[in-house]
Amino acid sequence: MSLPSKIGPMMVCLLCMASWFVPGADCAGYPEYIKVSEMYGGVRVHKFDDFASHGKGAWGIQQFDFRTKTRIGIMLVTYSSGQKVGHGRGGGSNENSGIFKINEGEYITKVKVVGTQRVSGLQFYLNNGRKSPYFGGGGGGNDPNPATHWVEPGEGYGIMSVFGHADEEMDSIGFLSGPVGGKLCDQISNVTGTWKADVYQNGGFTREISRGTTHESSQTNSQTWGTETTLEVSQGFTYAGSETSVSVSNTWSQSTSESYSNLFSETVMTTETMEFSTGGQLWAWVFTIVDPCGTSTTMRDYVMTRSLAETPCCLVGWAADVYTQFGPCANGAPNLCTEEQKASPNYGVQMADSSVIDYMGSRTQKDETEVSVGFRRGLSAGSLFSFLAVRAILL
């Protein structure tokens, strides 16, 4: 499988290499869901870390090529992206050669490492019971008494990348593991934004509304995932209406990604109490983000229309009139209301009573004027609700 490299190489802290497959090792550059093994071998001078050097290009092992004798002289790793990374220079241990290819759907679940002062031998075990030949020898010379070690990341994880030290030969080696399938949780595959119906009330009401991000998988790292999701949204996402969908890009996707970037990096959903003085159908804008580890949900903004039949027509924040969510969109933004809906006598007509203005009735005239100006300048109802919640807390 091919993994796009949207993020650059990462600088990796050597201290994390001492951890024994602990998810979320405190180490610069590794996402929380990557497990880091101990490092086996002796000499630690010329370090390498394929993932740190090549990012996602060095994730998901596809093939090993070895030159060996009594120890591992050369190891060439081919990753699923096609990236090839070689370690060692032969060093008197290049008499024999061998190749082990890992097929689609296979991944490494266990590694036998032989070595104390150097890496004398390696053998790989796969998820389907297949195993590689033993590559290497029994030590000797620079590794006279090699010990045998077993590396197992645990159920649901596969070994996906390597780090260690190498000069004339393989001096030491360690392994990075991630969720099975060789993919990273922050490889975003799909983002969809849509208005979802919340509650319907025929009079004033108080409602606990949700804001934040929740992840289906605990393996998702909030910071790297948030960065990748922001980038994905800025490049384009799907806006799903009740009967049709469109691909959103350019100005609209970029402004939306900037607005939601901080929220994408959160890991919890918080609730706030909001009071509405008039009834109607409340709608929540919901981003649904799919990655190899599961589905995540991000939400923040809310708007209101008269009824369930009057779906908000525009992207969040892009209604031409904040009081008229069932109506035209600003600056040519996509409008997903159907022709039948646009023919409705209520299309483009402001709601008779604004819960927002009523809600601000207890404020000073200066406050109300400022908010009205804000509406005329194009604030979304969701943005205003956020503004009101902050003001309620401060006041």
Same domain, 198 and 138: no
Tell which of 146, 179, 212 closes a domain: 179
CA distances from 346 to 34, 235, 245, 302 (A): 53, 34, 23, 20
234 and 367 part of one domain: yes
- 37 occurs within a structural domain: yes
User: Is 299 inside any structural domain?
Assistant: yes
Kindly state whether residue 206 falls inside one of the protein's structural domains: yes
Contacts of 323 (CB under 8 A, 6+ apart): 350, 351, 354, 375, 381
- pLDDT score, position 327: 97
CB 388 within 8 A of CB 380: no
For residue 103, which amino acid is it?
A: N
Q: Quick check: is 86 in a domain? A: yes
Confirm if 315 and 335 have CB atoms less than 8 A apart: no
Task: Tell me: do 169 and 196 sit in the same domain.
Answer: no
Domain of residue 27, CATH code: 2.100.10.30
Q: Does residue 164 sit in the same domain as residue 210?
A: no
Strand ranges inside the chain, DSSP E: 35-36, 40-41, 47-49, 61-68, 72-79, 84-87, 96-101, 108-114, 121-126, 135-136, 148-151, 157-166, 170-179, 190-201, 205-215, 237-240, 245-248, 269-276, 280-291, 294-305
Within a domain: residue 307?
A: yes
Radius of gyration of the CA atoms of the chain, in A: 28
DSSP string, 9-63: -----GGGGGSSS-TT-S-TT--TT-EE---EES--SSEEEHHHHHGGGG-SEEE
| pTM to 2 decimal places | 0.58
Q: Is residue 160 part of a domain?
A: yes
Q: Are residues 165 and 205 in the same domain?
A: no
Same domain, 208 and 156: no
pLDDT, position 141: 74
Q: Which domain holds residue 263?
A: 190-394
Domain final position from 138, 160, 179:
179
Inter-residue contact 185 to 220 (CB < 8 Å): yes
- Number of domains forming the structure of the chain: 2
At 239, phi and psi to the nearest 5?
-100, 115
* Claim to verify: residue 87 and residue 195 sit in the same structural domain: no
- Based on the domain organization, do 101 and 194 belong to the same domain? no
Q: How far apart are CA 12 and CA 45, in angstroms?
A: 16
Do residue 124 and residue 57 come from a single domain? yes
Last residue of a domain, one of 179, 208, 233: 179
Contact status, residue 314 vs residue 254, Cβ threshold 8 Å: no
| Alpha-carbon separation of residue 268 from 32, 218, 260, 338 (angstroms) | 16, 11, 14, 35
- 2 within domain boundaries: no
My answer on whether 155 and 226 are in the same domain is no
Q: Return the CATH number at 252.
A: 3.30.1750.10
Cβ(39)–Cβ(116) under 8 Å? Answer: no
pLDDT attached to residue 95: 73
CA–CA distance, 255 with 258 (Å, rounded to integer): 5
Rounded Cα–Cα distance for residues 12 and 119 (Å): 22
Distances (CA, A) of 208 to 270, 302, 344: 10, 12, 31
Same domain, 256 and 210: yes
Q: With beta carbons less than 8 A apart as the criterion, state whether 113 and 139 touch.
A: no
Residues 6+ away with beta carbon under 8 Å from 282:
197, 198, 199, 200, 201, 207, 276, 302, 303, 304
CA distance 381 to 319: 9
Alpha carbon of 50 to those of 11, 204, 300, 309: distances in Å? 11, 59, 38, 54
Structure tokens that stand for 10 in this block: 């990462």
Per-residue pLDDT of the chain (395 residues; tens, 9 = 90+): 333 333 333 333 333 433 334 333 334 467 777 899 999 998 778 999 999 999 888 999 999 999 988 889 999 999 998 999 999 987 655 678 899 999 988 999 999 999 998 999 999 999 999 999 999 887 777 777 889 999 999 998 999 999 999 998 999 999 999 877 556 777 788 999 999 999 999 988 999 999 999 988 776 767 778 988 999 999 999 999 888 899 998 888 999 999 999 999 888 899 999 888 888 999 999 999 998 778 999 999 999 999 999 999 999 999 999 999 999 999 999 999 999 999 999 999 998 654 443 333 332 233 333 322 222 223 333 333 433 333 333 33
Q: Angle 381-394/365-376 helices, nearest 10 degrees?
A: 150
- 175 and 239 in a single domain? The answer is no
* Amino acid in position 9: P
For residue 5, being part of any structural domain is answered with no
